Amino acid sequence: MNRQIVLAAHPRGAPQPDDFQLVEGTIPEPGPGQMRVRNLYLSLEAAIRSWLDGTPNYFAPIPLGGVIRGPSIARVEASRMAGYTVGDLVFGLHQWEDYSLSDANTVLLRKLAPNRDFPLSWYAGALGGSGQTAYVGLHRIGQIQSGDTVLVSAAAGATGSMACQIAALRGCRVVGVVGSPEKVSTLQEQMAVDAVLNYREEPDLAAALARACPEGVDVYFDNVGGKMLDAALTAMAGGGRIVGCGMISDYNHAGSPTPLYNLWQVIERQLTMQGFLLYSYLDDVPAAAMQLEQWVKEGRIQVLENIAEDLSVAGVAYSAMMTGTTMGKNLVRVGGAG
């Protein structure tokens, strides 16, 4: 039996648990060039939200009744694919189910060679895409320098928590923005941030940013977009850089995005705003991965993760993540047989 999570309804706004449904499918048999993998951890990612609306973007939309597409850490169970053998650990864009088929066309597919001293789940977050995105975004796009003031939004999230710590390790002054007192406490207690703001408690966010960054923001690592980006535009230092990593404030209502009013600052302050997706910078990933493992091994990076137990709660876990109530990397341990 192959348990699967399918799309029961297109979410309106933030996904709700009822938008997802557990069904029972059959265990797939790999054809020529394919392999069957046993999913171990689902990596819950904001990008999945954009596939739930039934409208095409750079991936096809997931139809009603279709199995949710999402990245996972998995173990090869049966292989008719060259180069992959039973027992290999892999990462790839699979589906929310016990068993998936994978082949040369699987997006993001790569073998994992995890350090056995670390939990395997870290390779979907701090030591995987989240950490690598933070690292590459800060260095390659943001071009951070020691002494820079670096502003990070969604600073208690999977990518944001890594961006804060990486920037601090590079000698930057780090200001994080989060959305709950618990997140403020976590950042203050576990991470070397210089200041943390709770945007929900700041009626004038631009003024709060100006107070927190009196000399201006050299690099803004933006996971949020919308009002946060609009406020950050007014807090940038001349010649500052905005790393466009995500716009999670709009993912639950992509059809009616938040208006921005402060683009004039791009000219007046001579800013550079650059969007990026990690898969365009794969050449940078090996060095990033090595440095991140080193820092984690030395205890200089705290890994924040939130693991939901069992495939059956994937929809619940995803709904919680997309309403902003969780911290760190969100994962589902698939569980079940085997």
End-to-end CA, the chain: 12
Q: Work out the number of other CB atoms within 10 angstroms of the CB of residue 311.
A: 22
Contacts of 38 (CB under 8 A, 6+ apart): 74, 75, 77, 98, 99, 334, 338
Q: Closest separation between CB of residue 145 and a copy of itself, Å?
A: 18
Residue 229 or 301: the one with the smaller Cβ distance to a copy of itself is 229
Interface positions, 264-303, toward a copy of itself (CB under 8 A)? 264-277, 280
Per-position DSSP letters for 290-315, written without gaps between them: HHHHHHHHTT-SPPPEEEEESGGGHH
Closest approach of Cβ 87 to a copy of itself, in Å?
Answer: 36
Residue 101 vs 271, nearer CB to a copy of itself: 271
Check residue 263 for interaction with a copy of itself (CB under 8 A): yes
Stretch that binds a copy of itself, among 155-163, 164-172, 258-266, 314-322 (CB under 8 A): 258-266
Q: Which stretch binds a copy of itself (CB under 8 A): 65-73, 124-132, 153-161, 256-264?
A: 256-264
Q: Which of 17, 58, 6 is nearest to 320 (CA)?
A: 17
Residue closer to a copy of itself (CB basis): 9 or 261: 261
β-pair type (329-333, 34-43)? antiparallel
- Which of residues 77, 194, 250, 284 is near a copy of itself by CB under 8 A? 250
Looking at the DSSP assignment, which residues form a beta bridge with residue 328? 157
CA-derived radius of gyration, the chain: 20
Over the window 122 to 161, marking each residue x when it contacts a copy of itself by CB under 8 A and - when it does not, the resulting string is ----------------------------------------
191-230 binders of a copy of itself (CB under 8 A)? 225, 229
Per CB under 8 A, contacts with a copy of itself among 46-65 are 57-58
Q: Which is nearer to a copy of itself, 47 or 112 (CB)?
A: 47
Contacts of residue 223, defined as CB under 8 A and 6 or more positions apart, other chains included, come to 152, 153, 154, 157, 159, 160, 245, 246, 247, 248
5-17 CB burial, b ≥16 within 10 A, e <16: bbbbeebeebbbe
CA atoms of 30 and 78, how far apart (whole Å): 7
To a copy of itself, the closest distance from the beta carbon of 57 in angstroms equals: 7
Of the candidate residues 198, 234, 262, 306, the single one contacting a copy of itself (CB under 8 A): 262
Give the count of alpha carbons within 13 A of 163, CB side only.
38
Report the residue from 244, 315, 324, 328 that binds a copy of itself according to the rule CB under 8 A. Answer: 244
Q: Interface residues with a copy of itself (CB under 8 A)?
A: 57-58, 225, 229, 239, 244-247, 250, 254, 257, 259-277, 280
